[in-house]
Amino acid sequence: MRLIAKNLTFFLLVVMLAIVIAACNPSEYEETTPQIISAASLTDLISNNDNLVIVDMQSPEEYAAEHVNGAVNIIKDDIVINVPVENMLTSKSKFERLMGEKGIDNDSTIIIYDNDKMSAARLWWSLLVYGNENARVIDGGLEAIKRAGIELTGEVPEIQKTTYTADEKNKAFLSDISDVMDQINEPNPNVVLLDVRTDEEFSESGKVPSSVMYDYNNIFYSDNTFKDVQATRINFIDNGMRPEKEIILYCRTSMRASAVFLSLYNAGYRNIKIYDGAYLEWSSNPNNPIELPAGASALPSKKDAS
C-alpha cells in the first residue's frame, strides 16, 4: 500500500509540474502595430498626415452616393484575377499599375474601409503579400465611420497619378494547392487547414479532408467590428490554433479568409497563409478528396463572392 501511495504521489507531482511548466511557457505572439484601427482615429490621421490615401472599397454606385471626403475608390474586382478560378491575387504588374492610378506611392499611408467585412482586408493582405506594410483597415467599415460622425461626400477627388513599385510575392503569407495536398498526403501535426466557411456550406459541398471548421463570422462582434486581440487569441487557442502552428486559411474564394488572416495577424500570429485558390479550386478537380459530414452526399455549394 505504501508503495502504491508513493507511486500515486509521484504521479500527481509529475502532473502538477507539467501544468506549471505549461503555464510558464505561454504562446509567444509577435508584437505589432495595430493593423485594425478605430473609425474615430481617422479624423486625426487626416489632419496629421500629408501623404495619407483613404481607400473606399464600395461598389462604384455606392461610392458615388457617399464616401469619406477625399477617398479614392478601389473595388474587389480591381485586385483579383479569375484565372484559374475566381478571386485569385492579381499580378504584380497590374497591382503596381492600379496603385499608381489611384495616387498611391510607396511612401503613402493607406487607410482602407469597406461595407462587406472582407474587401478591405483583401486589399490589405494583397498589399502585405506585395511587400507593403503601411496599410491599415478601419474597424467596422463605413457604418463605424458614420457612427463616428466623419464627413461623407459624393464628390470625386482629383487623383494625381504616381509610380508604385511592388515587391515579389511574399510566399510566407501565400499557399497553393500543392501545399494543401502535401498536408493531406503527409499530415503534419503542426499544420492546421482552417476552413472559414459556414457549417451549412460544409454540409452542402464538403471540405478539404482534416480541415478545422471556423465560421469567419466568429471573428466579429455583433456590430461588425473585429473582436479585440485578447478575445481573438482565446478563441483560436480554444480551437487548437496556437501561434506556433502553421495555419493555412481558405474559404470559397479566399475573400473571407482575408478577414480572418487580418484578425490573426493583428493578434500577433505570423505563421499564417491563405490558400488563394481556396475551396473553389480544390473542389473543381474531381480527383481531389473531399470530406463530407457523416451520412451526407455532396451538393453544389451556394455561389457567392467569398
Residue with cell 493555412: 248
Count structural domains, the chain. Answer: 2
Same structural domain for residues 164 and 60?
A: yes
Question: Chain-wide mean pLDDT for the chain?
Answer: 91
| pLDDT reported for residue 262 | 98
Per residue in 10-52, pLDDT (tens digit) is 555 544 544 443 444 478 999 889 999 999 999 999 998 889 9
* CATH number of the domain residue 75 falls in: 3.40.250.10
Same structural domain for residues 108 and 79?
A: yes
Higher per-residue pLDDT: 209 or 151: 209
Same structural domain for residues 71 and 190?
A: no
Q: How far apart are the first and last CA of the chain?
A: 64
Domain that holds residue 185: 172-284
Could you tell me the pLDDT band of residue 9, with boundaries at 50, 70 and 90?
Answer: low
Same structural domain for residues 146 and 212?
A: no
Per residue in 221-271, pLDDT (tens digit) is 999 999 999 999 999 999 999 999 999 999 999 999 999 999 999 999 999
Whether residue 27 lies inside any domain: the answer is no
DSSP of 106-125, one letter per residue? TT-EEEEE-SSSSHHHHHHH
| pLDDT reported for residue 27 | 85
Whether residue 3 lies inside any domain: the answer is no
| pLDDT reported for residue 24 | 47
Whether residue 194 lies inside any domain: the answer is yes
Whether residue 120 lies inside any domain: the answer is yes
Same structural domain for residues 159 and 235?
A: no
Whether residue 208 lies inside any domain: the answer is yes
pLDDT surpassing 80 at residue 55: yes
| pLDDT reported for residue 2 | 52
Per residue in 114-156, pLDDT (tens digit) is 999 999 999 999 999 999 999 999 999 999 999 999 999 999 9
SS3 87: coil
Dihedral angle of Cα 42, 48, 51, 53, to the nearest 10 degrees: 10
Same structural domain for residues 188 and 125?
A: no
pLDDT surpassing 50 at residue 85: yes
C-alpha cell at 88: 485569385
Buried b / exposed e along 37-66 (16+ C-beta atoms within 10 A): bebeebeeebeeeeeebbbbbbbeeebeee
Q: Which of 168, 185, 211 is the last residue of a domain?
A: 168
